[in-house]
Amino acid sequence: MDFVVLLGPPGAGKGTQAKLLAQELGIPHVSSGDLFRDNLARKTELGLLAKSFMDRGDLVPDDVTVRMVIDRIGHPDCEAGVILDGFPRTLGQAVALDDALVAAGRCVSVAPLIQVPDDVLMDRLTARRICRQCGAVFNLVSNPPEVPGVCGECQGELYQRDDDNSETVRNRLYTYYRDTAPLIGYYFARKLLVEVDGQQSIDDVQTALVAAVRSMPGDCQ
């Protein structure tokens, strides 16, 4: 297994599943959205630039995004494989990733697409809560914390993402269909796409995802 590219609309469960898959496969989970939010928390120039796009539900420009992710996946912990969550998100990013991987003798092994209908996505995102300390993801409806407002894993404070309001979610969905959905064809044509029903329970989605990942050869021929 080399690079796993998790595809799916906002709220499909990419982050939730990537974390579990990372434990299962013993390789890191790299989320472009988390990298931007981490930069923002540290008030870096990149974080402040990204915020203006993220708050509107628009994509951060390809050049800065590609540079940030290619730099991260060059770290030694990524040598045995990586689960990419939220990247690539445009055809330009997908080509840039392939170019960088070919140059390094590496490849995308599989691109699982987590499918969930739009109305469910809207409900999921407006009910999402995240731990400020450890990043654990909860949902007020489908996966509530035992104590309201408190992370069950580390007792940290739960917060709502600035872009999880209905207006921004609508634009994130629009942006997904315009810019990111074309990647479904891109990976289908390379025989790397595997569809997974994202409307099952979190555990059942994970079982289907692990089976999908293991069904692919995983070597870079």
Map residues 10-49 to x or -, x wherever contact with Mg ion holds by CB under 5 A. Answer: -----x----------------------------------
161 is catalytic: yes
14 is catalytic: yes
156 binds, among ligand AP5, Zn ion, Mg ion, none (CB under 5 to 8 A by kind): Zn ion
Closer CB to ligand AP5, 78 or 202, in the complex: 202
Q: Applying CB under 5 A, which residues contact Zn ion? A: 131, 133-134, 136, 151, 153-154, 156
Catalytic residue among 37, 89, 124, 129: 89
Residue 39 binds to ligand AP5 (criterion: CB under 6 A): no
Residue range at the interface with ligand AP5 (CB under 6 A); choices 70-78, 98-106, 122-130, 212-220: 122-130
Please state, in angstroms and rounded to a whole number, the distance separating the CA atoms of residues 19 and 64.
24
Nearest residue to ligand AP5 on Cβ basis: 33
* Shortest distance in whole angstroms from residue 183 CB to ligand AP5: 10
Please state, in angstroms and rounded to a whole number, the distance separating the CA atoms of residues 16 and 6.
11
Full 3-state SS string of the chain: CCEEEEECCCCCCHHHHHHHHHHHHCCCEEEHHHHHHHHHHCCCHHHHHHHHHHHHCCCCCHHHHHHHHHHHHCCHHHCCCEEEECCCCCHHHHHHHHHHHHHCCCCEEEEEEEECCHHHHHHHHHCEEEECCCCCEEECCCECCCCCCECCCCCCEEECCCCCCHHHHHHHHHHHHHHHCHHHHHHHHCCCEEEEECCCCHHHHHHHHHHHHHCCCCCCC
Q: Where in 42-71 is the site for ligand AP5 (CB under 6 A)?
A: 53-54, 57-60, 65
> Which residues lie near ligand AP5 (CB under 6 A)?
8, 10-16, 32-33, 36, 53-54, 57-60, 65, 86-87, 89, 93, 124-125, 128, 137-139, 142-143, 163, 172, 198, 201-202, 205
> Which residues lie near Mg ion (CB under 5 A)?
15
Q: Which residues are catalytic?
A: 14, 89, 128, 161, 172
